[in-house]
A and B are shown apart, each in its own frame.
Chain A
Amino acid sequence: MVIRRFPWIRQSLVIWHKELRIEFRTRFAYSTLLMFAVTTLITISFSVGGFVPDSDITAALLWIILFFSAMAGLGRTFVQEEEKKTITALKMAVAPEPVFLGKYFFNVTLLCSLTVLVVPLFLVLLNQSVPLWAPFLTTVFLGALGLAGASTIIAAIVAKTEAKSAMMTILAFPVLVPLLLATINATRICLAGAPGTAPTTELLLLLFYNGAVVTASLLLFEYIWNE
């Protein structure tokens, strides 16, 4: 196992690079993610108007936007390989684990570049200040990481079903409940910024959640991929 892990990393970076190259040409996933996030954000901002909502509500809104954007944008991670029959070419060339890691790195890249654009826009449009900015950025990063991780293996399952588009949200939501509760609570604490508070438990939980999701995915992915 240990000896095989090093080629995994190199191979998964090759796959990540391939995904980026295709994404730059088609812009399919990124435009879906961005359009979804921006349209919901503008709708929320428009309906809220000049009223500055409570940080409890703002925190939930932010993660609802990010969750549904991820569902819309990352659901096709494996569908394309399946539909365009490139999956056989890939299976003949490489082990399952690097494929998972490559796709996971790519999804992380997508979601991080989405948050870089959407989170500042969100704070500006909803007129929010962030007293605890360092824990806030960590929360957003770990949250995006976890969203990408769980979405990757769920997207692999979705690609093998017959009702592809509808399945992503149904399958991903129960799995993501702990992550969403943790990120929403952490964000709430960071936005409220009461003295002496810090989302330490939430951040630790997010860390462990990420670790558990990636480990379990690496163990289970093979069974989906070699289906």
Chain B
Amino acid sequence: MFWQSILGIWLTLVILASFLYMPATQGLGESGRIIIYHVPAAWVAVLAYLMAMVNSLNYLRRKDLRFDRQAQINAELGTVFCVLATITGAIWSRGAWGWYWNWDPRQTSIAVLLMIYAAYFVLRGTVEDPERRANLAAVYALFAFLTVPFLVFIVPRIYDSLHPDLINMEKRTFDMDKKMLVVFLASLAGFTGLYGWLYNIRLRVENLLHRLEGKKEVI
């Protein structure tokens, strides 16, 4: 309860600061404030998906259904944050360049990631046996994830990228206002905490459901 309250207050402060404390960005104007939500959402999506990969590998190695539950939860959370990142990205894109969607390499990759996980959940839905479901889902997730990096090479050949880079490669500096950086980092921490909290709750629910199923089948 204590950490939940801290997290709630923290995120509230981040939201307030993103509108009141932080100045509008140069170049991107007021719509640039969305960076405080867009980048952390994308970061959590990547984090959760990577955790799902680790869980899937662990499942294949140890064949313990606990890892499968973890993989499933991480895939779910990854997808939720991935959808958030996609939507905030599209809004930002509209504000900055005038259209919601332009098959930017990052938009393409994120769309393909969403398709992979949509397929992943459909696959899970069509297999009844828990061990078989865990096995197939893990293999599919690992196999599909492997093909994502190829997009990075092929998509720029077809469409140019408009996406801004946060890290300026030439000057090796972080292109961000100091006040903005503080809010941004606070948001990053807040989103990561939110992910950890959601993950914990989902895991407890899934473990309880698993135990409940055990009770049911004995009868």
Contacts and interface: CB of A to CB of B under 8 A. Distances in A.
Interface centre among A171, A205, A213 (most CB of B within 10 A): A171
Nearest to B128: A162
Contact of B142 (A173, A185, A216): A216
Contact of B143 (A162, A185, A220, A227): A220
A174 B127 contact: no
Contacts of A209: 147, 150
Given A174-B112, A174-B144, A162 B127 contact: yes
Query: Which secondary structure characterizes the binding site on chain A?
Result: helix
Interface stretch (A31-39, A136-144, A153-161): A153-161
A145 to B, nearest CB: 15
B143 A201 contact: no
B139 A205 contact: no
Interface string B141-158: 011101110110111011
A171 B143 CA distance: 11
Interface string A167-182: 1001101111111011
A181 B158 contact: yes
Interface in B113-162: 115-116, 119, 122-123, 126-128, 132, 135-136, 138-140, 142-144, 146-148, 150-151, 153-155, 157-158
B150 A205 contact: yes
B35 interface: no
Contacts of A162: 126-128
A174 B135 contact: no
Contact of B158 (A160, A167, A185, A213): A185
B55 to A, nearest CB: 15
Nearest to A161: B126
Nearest to B153: A205
A224 interface: yes
Interface in A177-196: 177-179, 181-182, 185
A227 B154 contact: no
Contact of B151 (A167, A177, A201): A177
Interface of A: 150, 153, 157, 160-163, 167, 170-171, 173-179, 181-182, 185, 201-202, 205, 208-209, 212-213, 216-217, 220, 223-224, 227
Given A174-B116, A174-B119, 16 more contacts: A157-B136, A162-B126, A171-B122, A173-B115, A173-B119, A174-B147, A175-B116, A175-B147, A178-B151, A179-B150, A181-B154, A185-B154, A205-B153, A205-B154, A209-B147, A223-B138
